[in-house]
Structure 1
Amino acid sequence: MNITPLVWVITIAVTIAFFVYEFFVHVRKPHEPTIGESARWSAFYIGLALLFGVGIGVVSGWTFGGEYFAGYLTEKALSIDNLFVFLIIMTGFAVPKIYQQKVLMIGIIIALILRGIFIAAGAALIENYSWVFYIFGGFLLYLAIQQARGSHESDPANGLFMRFVRRILPVTDEYHGDRLTVRKDGRRWVTPLFLTIIAIGFIDLVFALDSIPAIYGLTSEAYIVFTANAFALMGLRQLYFLIGGLLERLVYLAQGLAVILAFIGVKLVLHALHVNELPFINGGQHVEWAPEIPIWFSLLFIGATITVATVASLIKTRGDRRAETAHLGAPDAE
């Protein structure tokens, strides 16, 4: 792709404009979004992301269009997983629903900034060091194992990092509206809302480490990496309120993401072998037998994995509810 600096500037400016609009129109006044509001805006942002992908395919070719859609699907799935952790954090800090929008918005902005930094760093590494694909691939395989074991078992709101933060910052026991700090007895205190944002920012860092190597396994175009991430994060706040109840029913989401991360990890290792320059592997020569997985197969595999994980999750939770209802309705054994 031939992306000029002007296109980059326009893309970043439009992205910032969307988030500024979100803050001043929807988030600035504390309220809990309705299902209708969340559904309309979620549909708008998803439609916009799909339209952008079609635009890339028409202008730059469907190879790049396919890379964008594969990246967008992967990042959207990882973002939904991110929402699950946000839900755990919100519950752990007992954040009132009318203030959750502000926390989510700040968390999403932090995520975009962190991912932008990692995108730039990843692009520079890939441009200069082909062996970085080995590191990315191995890292994703490790993350896939961790994900399959269950990445949400611990409580991020009361983990080691947050206990350390509580020791160094004076924290009030109660919320003070949507304020992050208050002055009491001549001293500045932080509110639980401030701690919630710190916890979400820390989780954003962890998820940025997941998502950027994953999408670089699908495309080496920094522009596609950035736009796929930006569109995956747009509308995430509305999606949180739209599928809040559904999140707890996606019991196989972690396993589905583990399969996707493992697939991309293997794809990266195969690509690293294909472009190998390390002297202790095949004498520094490219490994010709290492296949390059085509983007159409990656897109199909990722889409099928997300679909199977979602359907299987809903079938299991529905069966569990029926079994629980039948058990509660059954007469006690004498």
Structure 2
Amino acid sequence: MDAPWWVWLATIVGIAVILVVDLAIVDRPWSKKREPKEFSLKEASWWSAFYIALAIVFGIGIWYFAGWEKAGEYFAGYVTEKSLSVDNLFVFYLILTSFAVPKKYQHEVLLVGIMLALVMRGVFIAVGAQAVNAWSEVFYLFGAFLIYTAIKIVRDNVAGSEEEETNYTDSFAVRMLRKVWPVTDSYHGPRLTVKLDGRRHITPMFMVIVAVGVTDLIFAVDSIPAIFGLTQDAYLVFTANAFALLGLRVLYFLLAGLMDRLAYISWGLAAIMVFIGIKMLLHALHENGVDVPEVGTSLSLGVILGVMTITVIASVVKSRSDMRKLQARAGDITPRE
């Protein structure tokens, strides 16, 4: 899909408008209190559905103007990137909790995190597109990297939750900052630095932004090879990533109440990464003259949707089972009258 410059421009302007609307919805600049809106689970569900509907409408537009093959690549990329974005939000939640970020400042951290994710993924898309066009063997590297990442996810889940083992307040980047600058003990509003006793200090808010930025970098490294395994069209890669990231602040409200109910999402992502990794290796072999079958767009989309559906259903079943066990235990220890 060789999108002309004006299509790129119109798309970027449209996404910018949606971001402005998102800012208006969450930050409510007209509010006298100047505090971000707190969404109920129901409101967050409706707004999340709205952003997903926008992505679907955009995909239908691609199907109308460019055909099913390109639309299928876009939808496969969107589902994969949305899944990775949800996993990204889980880590954001853990970072905000680890640093005990006051609730009224969490929205600003999320906004910075999402903007950093857009910028970093944009840079990686530009670099990845050039690498793919110049050197087909890069698919060997991408495929091997995705399979390695999947193995690491599985290993971490078998050994114990990766998030529980990670201390975000003592990460390498945070430790380096503490060695260079003094850090205040408490937050000073949303400020990143503050001058105390004639010396410039950084605040915990600055540390949080650094931790979020490092997380964005890691997820960008994971996500870009994954989507290039589904489509090499830079326009589709960009739009799939952009629509996956839109509305994440609203989605955060929804996931904050569901963190313990999606226990198997990492397993689903690992399975998808293995599938895409194998697809990329087969594509690289095919490009180098080896007679191997290639995985089509329809099969890719079907596998990705199927894996995520199974993951969500299995997570819900486990959540309900755990709830029943807790209720049963509570009933066993209830004193008899």
* TM value normalised by structure 1: 0.92
| Letter of the structure 2 residue corresponding to residue 31 of structure 1 | P
Quote the residue 2:16 is aligned against. 16
**Residue 139 of structure 2, aligned match among 133, 138, 144:** 133
Cα distance in 2, alignment partners of residues 182 and 18 from structure 1: 33
Identify which range, 105-114 or 28-37, moves more after superposition: 28-37
Identify which range, 150-159 or 136-145, moves more after superposition: 150-159
Q: Report the alpha carbon displacement of residue 318 of structure 1 after superposing the two structures with TM.
A: 1.8
Q: Report the alpha carbon displacement of residue 274 of structure 1 after superposing the two structures with TM.
A: 0.4
Gap change, CA 1:225 and 1:330, over 3 Å in 2: same
| Letter of the structure 2 residue corresponding to residue 12 of structure 1 | I
| Letter of the structure 1 residue corresponding to residue 59 of structure 2 | G
Cα distance in 2, alignment partners of residues 24 and 189 from structure 1: 32
Could you report, residue by residue, the CA deviation over 1:175-219 in whole angstroms, capped at 9, with x for unpaired residues? 122222222222222221121111000000000000000000000
Identity, % of aligned positions: 50
Cα distance in 1, alignment partners of residues 78 and 185 from structure 2: 40
Quote the residue 2:159 is aligned against. none
For structure 1, the 5+ residue unaligned runs are 277-285
Quote the residue 1:279 is aligned against. none
Q: Report the alpha carbon displacement of residue 273 of structure 1 after superposing the two structures with TM.
A: 0.3
Quote the residue 2:154 is aligned against. 148
Quote the residue 2:44 is aligned against. 38
Cα distance in 1, alignment partners of residues 322 and 195 from structure 2: 49
* 2:99 and 2:169 in contact (8 A); partners too: yes
**Residue 86 of structure 1, aligned match among 85, 92, 100:** 92
Cα distance in 2, alignment partners of residues 235 and 87 from structure 1: 16
| Letter of the structure 2 residue corresponding to residue 317 of structure 1 | S
**Residue 247 of structure 1, aligned match among 259, 274, 278:** 259
Q: Report the alpha carbon displacement of residue 58 of structure 1 after superposing the two structures with TM.
A: 0.5
Cα distance in 1, alignment partners of residues 35 and 205 from structure 2: 13
Aligned length: 323
Partner SS, residue 220 of structure 1: coil
Could you report, residue by residue, the CA deviation over 1:258-301 in whole angstroms, capped at 9, with x for unpaired residues? 0000000000000000001xxxxxxxxx011x111111111111
Cα distance in 1, alignment partners of residues 120 and 173 from structure 2: 19
1:295 equivalent to 2:285? Answer no
Quote the residue 1:312 is aligned against. 314
Q: Report the alpha carbon displacement of residue 37 of structure 1 after superposing the two structures with TM.
A: 4.2
1:273 equivalent to 2:275? Answer no
Quote the residue 1:183 is aligned against. 195
* TM value normalised by structure 2: 0.91
Q: Report the alpha carbon displacement of residue 32 of structure 1 after superposing the two structures with TM.
A: 4.7
Gap change, CA 1:167 and 1:304, over 3 Å in 2: same
Cα distance in 1, alignment partners of residues 109 and 334 from structure 2: 47
Gap change, CA 1:34 and 1:24, over 3 Å in 2: closer
Cα distance in 1, alignment partners of residues 74 and 318 from structure 2: 32
Partner SS, residue 2 of structure 1: coil
Cα distance in 1, alignment partners of residues 333 and 87 from structure 2: 40
Gap change, CA 1:47 and 1:129, over 3 Å in 2: same
* 1:32 and 1:101 in contact (8 A); partners too: no
1:167 equivalent to 2:158? Answer no
* 1:181 and 1:189 in contact (8 A); partners too: yes
For structure 2, the 5+ residue unaligned runs are 157-161
Gap change, CA 1:292 and 1:100, over 3 Å in 2: same
Gap change, CA 1:78 and 1:329, over 3 Å in 2: same
* 1:253 and 1:309 in contact (8 A); partners too: yes
* 1:32 and 1:98 in contact (8 A); partners too: no
Gap change, CA 1:331 and 1:201, over 3 Å in 2: closer
Cα distance in 1, alignment partners of residues 212 and 226 from structure 2: 21
1:2 equivalent to 2:2? Answer yes
Q: Report the alpha carbon displacement of residue 167 of structure 1 after superposing the two structures with TM.
A: 2.1
Cα distance in 1, alignment partners of residues 318 and 153 from structure 2: 19
Could you list the structure 1 runs, at least 4 aligned residues long, displaced by more than 4 angstroms after superposition. none
**Residue 234 of structure 2, aligned match among 196, 215, 222:** 222
Partner SS, residue 189 of structure 1: strand
Identify which range, 31-40 or 109-118, moves more after superposition: 31-40
Quote the residue 1:234 is aligned against. 246
| Letter of the structure 1 residue corresponding to residue 137 of structure 2 | W
| Letter of the structure 2 residue corresponding to residue 38 of structure 1 | A
Quote the residue 1:103 is aligned against. 109
* 2:25 and 2:37 in contact (8 A); partners too: no
1:77 equivalent to 2:83? Answer yes
Cα distance in 1, alignment partners of residues 222 and 147 from structure 2: 11
* 1:30 and 1:102 in contact (8 A); partners too: no
Cα distance in 2, alignment partners of residues 169 and 90 from structure 1: 21
Q: Report the alpha carbon displacement of residue 21 of structure 1 after superposing the two structures with TM.
A: 4.0
RMSD: 1.7
* 1:30 and 1:99 in contact (8 A); partners too: no
Cα distance in 1, alignment partners of residues 151 and 37 from structure 2: 37
Identify which range, 71-80 or 9-18, moves more after superposition: 9-18
Cα distance in 2, alignment partners of residues 165 and 115 from structure 1: 25
Q: Report the alpha carbon displacement of residue 321 of structure 1 after superposing the two structures with TM.
A: 2.2
Cα distance in 1, alignment partners of residues 332 and 219 from structure 2: 44
Quote the residue 1:210 is aligned against. 222
Q: Report the alpha carbon displacement of residue 232 of structure 1 after superposing the two structures with TM.
A: 0.3
* 2:173 and 2:210 in contact (8 A); partners too: no
